[in-house]
Amino acid sequence: MWIVAPLAVLGAVGAGYLTYRFVVDPLVANTADAIKLTLAILTLIGAVLAGVYAYRKQRIAESDTHRADAKGGRLALAESTNTPELPRPSRSED
């Protein structure tokens, strides 16, 4: 954690500098507009990464639930979801 956080900050600063220097600066004459565009690009990249992280976290949680269900049935599924016990499904009489 103590190594990853500073590396992430340095990576973000480096990506911002490279984006500003090689992409935005030649295209925009006004420096303030160039900085705004650079921050917008970095925000978009951050939003995409946050979405990918949330998607992967959801997939892992769902696979854990499926694994618990296959392992022990209703009781294991209830334990994995912090529910006292899952309700029994009702069977319809035809």
Q: CA-to-CA distance for 30 and 64, rounded, in angstroms?
A: 51
Phi-psi region of 82 (alpha: psi -120 to 50; beta: other; left: phi over 0): left
pTM for the whole thing?
0.53
Q: Could you tell me what percent of the chain has a pLDDT over 70?
A: 67
CA distance 44 to 57: 20
Q: Which residue has the tokens 């990249």?
A: 45
Residue 2 has pLDDT above 60, yes or no: yes
Looking at residue 49, what is its pLDDT? 84
Q: CA-CA distance, 47 to 15, in Å (whole number)?
A: 15
Quote the pLDDT of residue 83.
Answer: 55
State the distance between the two ends of the chain, measured CA to CA, in whole angstroms: 59
DSSP structural state of residue 30: S
